[in-house]
Structure 1
Amino acid sequence: MKTEDLLARFKARDPRAIGQVISQVENNGPQCSAILAALGADVMDSTLVLGLTGPPGAGKSTLSGCLIRHLREQGQRVGIIAIDPSSPISGGAVLGDRIRIMDHALDPDVIVRSMASRGRLGGLCAAAGGVVRVLAAAGCDVILIETVGVGQSEMDIVRLADLTLMTLAPGFGDDIQAMKAGLLEVTDLLVANKADLPGSEALCLEMSATFRDRSQRDGIDRVVRTVASQNQGIDTLMDRIEALNTNHLEQGIRTARRQLSLESETLDWCLELLRPQLLAAIRGQHQPIDPRLRAEQLIADRNHDQRQ
Structure 2
Amino acid sequence: MKKLSAAEMVERVVTGDRRIAARTITLVENEMDEHHEIMKLIYPHSGQARIIGVTGVGGAGKSTLTNHIVRKLRGQDKKVGVIVVDPSSPFSGGALLGDRIRMQSHTLDPGVFIRSMASRGYLGGLSKGTYDVIRIMEAMGMDVVIVETLGAGQDEIDLIHIAGTCLLVHTPNMGDDIQAMKAGIMEIADINVLNKADQEGADTSFRQLRNSISAAGFEAGAWVPKVIATVSMAAKLEDLKGIDELMDTIAEHDAHLHAGNHIDRVRFARVEQELGVVFKEKMERKIYNELKSTGKKKEYINSIIEGATNPYSVSDEVLNF
Same fold (TM > 0.5)? yes
Alignment of 1:241-280 (within 5 A): 241-279=250-288
* 2:71 paired residue among 56, 69, 72: 69
Distance change >3 Å, CA 155–CA 245, structure 1 → 2: same
How far does the alpha carbon of each residue in 1:259-283 deviate from its partner, in whole angstroms, 9 at most, with x for none?
A: 1221122112222222234345343
8 Å contact from structure 1 (residues 220, 244) kept in 2: no
Instruction: Work out whether 1:206 is the aligned partner of 2:208.
Output: yes
* 1:283 paired residue among 298, 303, 315: 298
* 1:225 paired residue among 222, 229, 234: 229
* 1:29 paired residue among 32, 45, 56: 32
Pick 1 or 2: higher relative contact order, CA cutoff 8 A, min separation 6: 1
Distance change >3 Å, CA 156–CA 40, structure 1 → 2: closer
State the alpha-carbon separation in 1 of the partners of residues 192 and 30 from structure 2.
Answer: 33
State the alpha-carbon separation in 2 of the partners of residues 180 and 124 from structure 1.
Answer: 19
State the alpha-carbon separation in 2 of the partners of residues 198 and 123 from structure 1.
Answer: 30
Q: CA deviation at 1:210?
A: 2.1
Q: CA deviation at 1:214?
A: 4.9
Instruction: Work out whether 1:60 is the aligned partner of 2:62.
Output: yes
State the alpha-carbon separation in 1 of the partners of residues 219 and 168 from structure 2.
Answer: 15
- Larger helix fraction of residues: 1
Report the more deviating stretch, 115-124 or 93-102: 115-124
State the alpha-carbon separation in 2 of the partners of residues 205 and 177 from structure 1.
Answer: 13
State the alpha-carbon separation in 2 of the partners of residues 215 and 71 from structure 1.
Answer: 31
How far does the alpha carbon of each residue in 1:151-200 deviate from its partner, in whole angstroms, 9 at most, with x for none?
A: 24422134211110000011223432332422111110000111111111
Tell me which residue corresponds to 2:245.
236
Q: CA deviation at 1:50?
A: 0.4
State the alpha-carbon separation in 1 of the partners of residues 311 and 190 from structure 2.
Answer: 39
State the alpha-carbon separation in 2 of the partners of residues 252 and 217 from structure 1.
Answer: 11
How far does the alpha carbon of each residue in 1:234-290 deviate from its partner, in whole angstroms, 9 at most, with x for none?
A: 111111111111111122222112212211221122222222343453434233212
Q: CA deviation at 1:43?
A: 2.1
Q: Pairwise CA RMSD of aligned residues?
A: 2.3
Letter in 2 for 1:82: V
8 Å contact from structure 1 (residues 125, 268) kept in 2: no
Tell me which residue corresponds to 1:15.
18
Number of residue pairs matched?
300
State the alpha-carbon separation in 1 of the partners of residues 33 and 155 from structure 2.
Answer: 27
The normalised TM-score by structure 2 is 0.86
**Is the partner of 1:205 in helix, strand or coil?**
helix
Alignment of 1:1-308 (within 5 A): 1-41=4-44, 43-45=46-48, 47-121=49-123, 124-212=126-214, 213-214=217-218, 222-230=226-234, 231-279=240-288, 281=291, 282-285=297-300, 286-287=302-303, 288-300=308-320
State the alpha-carbon separation in 2 of the partners of residues 225 and 35 from structure 1.
Answer: 42
State the alpha-carbon separation in 2 of the partners of residues 102 and 18 from structure 1.
Answer: 19
Tell me which residue corresponds to 2:294.
none
**Is the partner of 1:206 in helix, strand or coil?**
helix
The normalised TM-score by structure 1 is 0.90
8 Å contact from structure 1 (residues 51, 146) kept in 2: yes
Listed as ranges, the gaps of 5+ residues in structure 1 are: 302-308
How far does the alpha carbon of each residue in 1:96-136 deviate from its partner, in whole angstroms, 9 at most, with x for none?
A: 21111111111111111111011135895431111111111
**Is the partner of 2:284 in helix, strand or coil?**
helix
8 Å contact from structure 1 (residues 123, 268) kept in 2: no
Q: CA deviation at 1:227?
A: 0.3
Distance change >3 Å, CA 155–CA 101, structure 1 → 2: same
Q: CA deviation at 1:215?
A: 11
Listed as ranges, the gaps of 5+ residues in structure 2 are: 235-239, 292-296
**Is the partner of 1:24 in helix, strand or coil?**
helix
Q: CA deviation at 1:219?
A: 7.7
Distance change >3 Å, CA 83–CA 175, structure 1 → 2: farther
8 Å contact from structure 2 (residues 52, 147) kept in 1: yes
Letter in 1 for 2:320: A
Distance change >3 Å, CA 198–CA 243, structure 1 → 2: same
8 Å contact from structure 2 (residues 125, 156) kept in 1: no
How far does the alpha carbon of each residue in 1:59-94 deviate from its partner, in whole angstroms, 9 at most, with x for none?
A: 111101111111111111100110111012211011
State the alpha-carbon separation in 1 of the partners of residues 75 and 39 from structure 2.
Answer: 31
8 Å contact from structure 2 (residues 81, 145) kept in 1: yes
Percent identity reads 35
